[in-house]
Structure 1
Amino acid sequence: MGQALLQLIPLALAAALSSVPITATIFILLAESRSRSGLGFLVGTVLGTFATVALATVASQALPGRPREHEALVGKLEVVIGIALVLLGVVALARRSRAGSGRGPGWLDNIGTFGILPVFGIGLALNLRPKAILLAAAAALAIVGVDLMFGDNLGLVVFYTAIATCTVSVPIVATILFPRRMEPRLLAAKGWIAAHSSTVGATMMILIGGFVIGIGVSG
């Protein structure tokens, strides 16, 4: 299990540092209805992340072939996913350079006005982004690669989910408990994210992609 944990930590951190869910969290928490909307977004994000990785793990376990063939196929898939992550990071950096701004999608500006059900749905849907799917697939392959029992696999999925969603869960819980203390921090974070998050996220994707390729090649 230790090997799987070491592989999952950087993947989960890459997911946690994704700019879109972090930006959505901040905009929601700066709105008047932050408590209800924040909880809805948190539940949607956690459930979506858990379900995506769990389904990817089940699918990875169903890969055909004998044990050695299965292991070789997992390695090849890891290389493919790693290359896709690197390309996705390069494209994101190129777009960032052309745009000259780290501003996120326009719909994020109004997410604070959405009701609890829409933000719950957005939390689920954000796990269908290409980056989230690739990271979930890489995590699933890391879990399947160590060939553990069901309970251990479930624990690893929960472990990945907890880290991958910490940049959403921690600010939401902290803001609900300490709204006055958190508001100036949220405003400062909003400015920093607008300037740097896209570059940081793209760079992380490239590094993690290289990491996943290395795992796949080494077997």
Structure 2
Amino acid sequence: MPVREASSRVEIGDAMGQALLTLIPLALAAALSSVPITATIFILLSESRGRSGLSFLAGTVIGTFATVALAAVAGHALPGRPREHEALVGKLEVVIGSALVLLGVVTLARRSRAGSGRGPRWLDSLGTVGILPVFGIGLALNLRPKAILLAAAAGLAIVGVDLGFYDNLGLVVIYTAMATCTVSVPIVATILFPRRMEPRLLSAKGWIAAHSSTVGATMMILIGAFVIGVGVTG
């Protein structure tokens, strides 16, 4: 019995490690997304940054967790026997990876045409719309094409290793924590150290306006190619 338990633990550990190797790049791509980072900075530079920041953080975390969890549940519901199910997951990963690459290329093309201008106008009034609307915006940002594709890829990565419920839940939590760290860390740091963070937020706002779209699009292309590779190799 001890030998069997030890071997099963090794198998679970290997599967968990395999899932993390796929999830971490996806979570980093989500974390480096320019829209939630820019929204966070605009909120933190507003007068109601404390309440609005926490509300936006709650919406972002809940929305990210929900989308990945739903993607994993949908992945488990895919039809077919184990081998057929595995092959279907691989094909879906190739499709999602291709969509990420295409989205990244389109974003780069639009960026080169538009130049380095400003972000969306709705960001200017983000700190004055109230707590509930900010919470809703945090939820809604997880419905962007990039966020949905990354969540779908993460859900398939979780499904592909065939772990138990609590292991799957742990993977969803890990992905959520990493994907939202660029929102959670600035918000918590600004609430704790507002004077120190304000000049950093102002400088970050300028840098993001100039470079974040290019960085995010390039990251999308690389992650899309990675997801395609995972789907092809199985």
C-alpha distance in 2, partners of 1:98/1:144?
Answer: 39
Q: CA RMSD of the aligned region, Å?
A: 0.6
Tell me the residue number matched to 2:110.
95
The alignment status of 1:32 with 2:47, answered yes or no, reads yes
Q: Is the 8 A contact 1:12 1:164 kept in 2?
A: yes
Give a deviation string over 1:53-104, Cα, whole Å, max 9, x none.
0011000000000000000000000000000000000000000000001532
Tell me the residue number matched to 2:212.
197
> Higher Cα Rg: structure 1 or 2?
2
The 5-angstrom pairing of residues 139-178 of structure 1 reads 139-178=154-193
TM-superposed CA distance for 1:3, in Å, is 0.3
Is the alpha carbon distance of 1:117 and 1:78 closer, same or farther for their aligned partners in structure 2, counting shifts above 3 Å?
same
Secondary structure of 1:72's partner? helix
- From 81, 84, 92, the equivalent of 1:66 is 81
Q: Is the 8 A contact 1:96 1:102 kept in 2?
A: no
- From 32, 47, 59, the equivalent of 1:44 is 59
Give a deviation string over 1:124-181, Cα, whole Å, max 9, x none.
0000000000000000000000000000000000000000000000000000000000
C-alpha distance in 2, partners of 1:23/1:32?
Answer: 16
Q: Which runs of 5+ in 1 are unaligned?
A: none
Tell me the residue number matched to 1:83.
98
Runs of 4+ residues over 3 Å off in structure 1: none
The code of the aligned residue for 1:66 comes to R
C-alpha distance in 2, partners of 1:72/1:151?
Answer: 24
C-alpha distance in 1, partners of 2:132/2:34?
Answer: 22
Is the alpha carbon distance of 1:111 and 1:216 closer, same or farther for their aligned partners in structure 2, counting shifts above 3 Å?
same
Tell me the residue number matched to 2:139.
124
C-alpha distance in 1, partners of 2:117/2:214?
Answer: 8
- Aligned residues, how many? 219
The alignment status of 1:10 with 2:25, answered yes or no, reads yes
C-alpha distance in 1, partners of 2:116/2:210?
Answer: 7
Secondary structure of 1:31's partner? coil
Q: TM-score, normalised to structure 2's length?
A: 0.93
TM-superposed CA distance for 1:212, in Å, is 0.1
Identity percentage over the alignment?
Answer: 89
